[in-house]
Each structure stands twice: as structure tokens, then as C-alpha cells.
Amino acid sequence: MNKQEILDYLKEKNVLHEVTEHKVVYNMEEVSQIDIPYPEAEAKNLFVRDDKKRNYYLITVKADKKVNLKKFRKENNTRALSFASEDELKSIMGVIPGAVTPFGLLNDKELKVKFFIDKEFAKTGHLIAVHPNDNTATVYLKAEDLIDIIKEHGNQVGVITL
């Protein structure tokens, strides 16, 4: 799904959301330089894989958090982790670096990726800000709605404390 297809999907499903269009951003530092309506909702997304390239994970946390992959590995019983390649990102999630987002999971036809979301987002009514598979806009929606969308698609979802 591309940006427009994501936005159409949200409307079709009657998911309450808001969209902010902005210049292209590739990292959290660039995001901090644009005027956004709900900075506390900003998410950071890490697309990682194990050392055998068999298991893929999307880890979504509050923008200001650091992710310790060794700790994540130990707590979630995974093999050694590293960032997935640009080719893997494109072929599995259909996005480019800088546009990594949970909405990319809707392009994961083989359901290869397990989604982990920070417990702080999973609170009832909490907003989350993510790209619509394109880094020229940000979508704000309830985190619980995003989790429901991903679960409905079929990807495994885990709520974690980081």
C-alpha cells in the first residue's frame, strides 16, 4: 500500500485520524525541525532481523527512547539482531529508509514481521504518530486502532516495556 492507499484505507475503516503533510524527513532529528501538532505522539521505528535472516521485527517506541537491541533480544528470546537491509525493507514492507512505519506491515504479504510496540503507546486513547508509508506526511491515530489494524492484517503484535 502506498500513502494514498493507506489514507483511503483509514477512511474506509472509519478510523479516526489526522494527517499532517510536511517536507521529506529521514530521521528523528529532521522530524524535530518541522512543526507538528502532537510532538508527544511521535514514534521511532526500527526494522531489525535476526542473524539468520529468518525472523524480522518492527520495534516502535516513543521518539525520545533509545532501544537496546541486546536487551530486547534477551527479553524476547531472539537470535542476535541487526538492522535489516534497504532491500529487505523495500521487499518486505514496501518502504524506503526514513519511511519505516507500522503501516508498512500492511505490505508484508507473508506475515514475516512481528510488531513490537512500546507499552507507553498501548494505553487506551493514546495517540501515535507514524508515516503513511511515505515520509512526506505523518498520520495521527489512536495507538489501539493501529494495533487493531496490524492484528487484523495478521502480523503478530507484542506490547513491550523498553
Fold of 3-160: YbaK protein (3.90.960)
Can you give the pLDDT at residue 22?
83
Separation CA 9–CA 18 (nearest Å): 13
pLDDT at 137: 92
In angstroms, rounded to a whole number, what is the distance separating the alpha carbons of residues 142 and 118?
14
- Which tens digits make up the pLDDT trace of 40-52? 899 999 999 999 9
- Averaged over 65-76, what is the pLDDT? 92
> Torsion over CA of 47, 156, 124 and 22, rounded to 10 degrees?
30
**Would you state the torsion angle of the CA atoms of residues 14, 22, 32, 37, taken in this order, to the nearest 10 degrees?**
-40
The chain-wide mean pLDDT, for the chain, equals: 92
For the residues 61-70, what does the mean pLDDT come to?
91
pLDDT band at 27 (very low <50, low <70, confident <90, very high): low
**Closest CA relative to residue 47, chosen from 2, 4, 96:** 96
Q: How confident is the model at residue 32 (pLDDT cuts 50, 70, 90)?
A: confident
**Mean pLDDT, rounded, for 29-48:** 85
Domain boundaries, the chain: 3-160
Measured CA to CA, the distance from residue 114 to residue 58 in angstroms comes to 6
Model confidence over 81-126: pLDDT tens digits?
A: 999 999 999 999 999 988 999 999 999 999 999 999 999 998 767 9
Mean pLDDT within 7-20: 96
